[in-house]
């Protein structure tokens, strides 16, 4: 696979925020004054520095350490908004310091992310259309599985007759949370290992609503709650139980672990994301699905001339912090599956960015993006297995990012406008059906207080299934690369189940081996003819036109091909050598 960016080039610029001249340690009186309201800062320890020394430097500069991740060297601290970073400038234990901004967002959650929301929930504007590897457990199909074209596209229906997954294989969901009480999630939900690394933020420092009123005392949601629905949808696609009820996931016997890094509102702040990534390694998780992208910068550029020095420092800190966390997780044996994004662009030839920084609102400005020094995180982070999305016809979904530079494999992500000229066109069934938290369905008006699907919910294809004991589950259709990566994560979990080493009640397989099997057994999909594919007939402007480069074995639309669960569990051994 062709690679062009290295973190060395991206981080070549000085990483310390030099907002004032260097201050000699003895010249305390010459330090900048601290002033202004108290705000949060992220501080990254220098390579090789003792994090305790960095914490001491933070306190000496007038800050208060709130939390510290020693694995990645990332600290969150509070301090007066003026003068604090200047006091840290030149300290050898500090790599970078920058004021906290939101640094990640699951598509479809926040209203000010209208383009992302339009991708995953585009159909809302239309009416609905028509145990060890040697003793592998198998599974059958569930009643709603007939609507899961993605499940059969990756041949999970066949794979589960040979390998349906091992409960000792743990898949982390780094997202908005997981509804651990959903009847399709509960059988495979690991409560003991699940964690919520976030604290609800009712309002920001300017009084704007972020998460709104806290639902729980202490403003920390339990680790089995999802107030956004995105993470639960992802979890269902990966590992909803195959138990004769509702629907099932690609790997219906593996365990789901919630490692929540997102606010209720859908924003991902740096410290919770890094904490979740490093926890995945410490907790022995085998696979982590990351269906989110980095905010407030669509591209994190080391020295974009359109950005201020403070903004440049923030972007360098984001790239370096997440990269450290991903390196750490990789060393600990975690395979990291990442969605490529929904910006309909070739990742090697990025479009100008007029959306960043998108938080706080009103600070956006036009930037020309230099491919060599700008990274989208975590999809361009180290060890990321990038996944693009296709629709039921196998056409690349109009929204999906692509390009040979970062793509690994492709998977079903849904494509509402697929099937132009046929009854498929603009129908919910083109999308991906998965689990929907009841609390969110009620809030969004898809069900009423009695639990019945409303007319609005019916138009969206929302479905309800109930057990004999009266327990009910709800399901919704979505589309996006966020829906594609869970299919790949499910196949990765089956690979670990089939070929992993079993020891002391756990199972493991090196991430590089998982990647080789995942890519090696993927089903080839050729570029379209002609190679430049136009979406004009489905109502998209010329900006969406995409050119596919490569061969059937590897190309920019599909990578090494579509993930294939059956091939992975029956023919993957040869790729382990």
Residue from 434, 379, 365 nearest 408 by CA: 379
- Residue range 512-535: average pLDDT? 98
Please give the DSSP secondary-structure letter assigned to residue 464: E
Q: Which of 8-12, 329-333, 381-385 has the lowest mean pLDDT?
A: 8-12
Residue 423 has φ and ψ, to the nearest 5°, of -65, -15
Residue 365 has φ and ψ, to the nearest 5°, of -155, 155
Residue from 437, 413, 420 nearest 339 by CA: 413
Distance CA 163, CA 198 (A): 35
CA torsion sign for 74, 79, 81, 84 is negative
Please give the DSSP secondary-structure letter assigned to residue 353: B
pLDDT at 481: 98
Q: Which residues, listed in sequence order, are joined to residue 102 by a DSSP beta bridge?
A: 269
Distance CA 229, CA 225 (A): 9
**Quick count: other Cβ atoms within 10 Å of Cβ 363?**
12
- 93 versus 123: which is more confidently predicted? 93
Helix (H) or strand (E) holding 84: helix 84-88
CA torsion sign for 287, 292, 295, 300 is positive
Distance CA 176, CA 110 (A): 12
Distance CA 297, CA 321 (A): 15
In whole angstroms, how large is the CA radius of gyration of the chain?
23
Is the pLDDT at 66 greater than 70? The verdict is: yes
- Residue range 150-168: average pLDDT? 98
Is the pLDDT at 5 greater than 60? The verdict is: no
pLDDT at 3: 36
Between strands 472-478 and 463-466, the pairing is: antiparallel
- For the chain, how many residues are written? 577
- Residue range 115-137: average pLDDT? 56
pLDDT at 12: 32
Residue 374 has φ and ψ, to the nearest 5°, of -125, 135
Distance CA 325, CA 282 (A): 11
Is the pLDDT at 227 greater than 70? The verdict is: yes
């Amino acid at each position: 696979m062709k690679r062009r960016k290295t973190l060395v080039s991206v981080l070549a610029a000085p990483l310390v925020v030099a907002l004032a001249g260097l201050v000699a340690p003895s010249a305390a009186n010459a330090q900048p004054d601290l002033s202004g309201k108290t705000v949060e800062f992220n501080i990254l320890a220098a390579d090789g520095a003792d994090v305790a020394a960095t914490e001491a430097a933070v306190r000496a500069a007038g800050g208060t350490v709130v939390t510290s991740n020693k694995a990645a060297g990332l600290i969150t601290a509070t301090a007066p908004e003026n003068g604090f970073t200047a006091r840290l400038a030149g300290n050898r234990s500090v790599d970078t310091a920058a004021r906290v901004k939101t640094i990640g967002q699951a598509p479809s959650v926040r209203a000010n992310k209208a383009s992302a929301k339009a991708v995953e929930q585009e159909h809302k504007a239309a009416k609905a259309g028509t145990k060890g590897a040697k003793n592998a457990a198998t599974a059958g199909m569930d009643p709603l599985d007939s609507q899961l074209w993605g499940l059969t596209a990756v041949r999970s229906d066949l794979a589960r007759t040979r390998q349906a997954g091992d409960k000792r294989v743990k898949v982390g969901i780094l997202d908005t949370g997981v509804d651990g009480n959903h009847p399709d999630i509960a059988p495979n939900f690991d409560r003991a290992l699940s964690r919520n690394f976030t604290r609800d933020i009712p309002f920001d420092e300017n009084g704007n609503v972020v998460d709104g009123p806290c639902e729980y005392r202490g403003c920390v949601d339990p680790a089995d709650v999802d107030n956004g629905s995105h993470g639960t949808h992802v979890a269902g696609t990966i590992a909803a139980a195959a138990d004769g009820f509702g629907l099932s996931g690609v790997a219906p016997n593996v365990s789901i672990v919630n490692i929540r890094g997102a606010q209720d509102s859908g924003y991902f702040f740096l410290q919770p994301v890094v904490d979740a990534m490093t926890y995945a390694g410490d907790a022995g998780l085998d696979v982590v699905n990351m269906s989110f992208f980095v905010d407030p910068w669509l591209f994190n550029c080391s020295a974009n001339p359109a950005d201020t020095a403070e903004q440049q420092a923030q972007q360098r800190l984001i790239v370096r912090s997440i990269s450290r966390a991903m390196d750490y997780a990789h060393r600990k044996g975690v395979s990291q599956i990442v969605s490529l994004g929904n910006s309909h662009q070739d990742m090697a030839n990025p479009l100008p960015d007029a959306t960043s920084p998108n938080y706080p609102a009103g600070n956006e400005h036009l930037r020309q993006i230099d491919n060599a020094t700008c990274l989208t995180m975590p999809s361009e982070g180290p060890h990321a297995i990038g996944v693009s999305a296709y629709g039921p016809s196998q056409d690349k979904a109009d929204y999906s990012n692509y390009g040979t530079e970062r793509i690994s494999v492709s998977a079903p992500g849904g494509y509402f406008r697929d099937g132009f000229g046929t009854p498929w066109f603009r129908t919910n069934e083109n999308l991906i059906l998965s689990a929907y938290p009841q609390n969110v369905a009620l809030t969004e008006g898809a069900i009423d207080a009695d639990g019945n699907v409303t007319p609005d919910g019916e138009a969206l294809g929302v479905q309800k299934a109930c057990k004999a004991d009266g327990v009910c589950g709800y399901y919704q259709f979505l589309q996006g690369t966020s829906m594609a990566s869970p299919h790949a994560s499910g196949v990765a979990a089956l690979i670990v189940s089939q070929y992993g080493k079993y020891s002391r009640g756990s199972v493991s397989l090196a991430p590089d081996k998982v990647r080789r099997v995942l890519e090696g057994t993927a089903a080839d999909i050729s570029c379209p003819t002609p190679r430049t594919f136009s979406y004009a007939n489905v109502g998209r402007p010329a900006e969406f036109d995409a050119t596919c480069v490569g061969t059937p074995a590897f190309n920019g639309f599909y990578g090494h091909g579509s993930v294939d669960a059956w091939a992975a569990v029956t023919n993957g051994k040869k790729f382990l050598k």
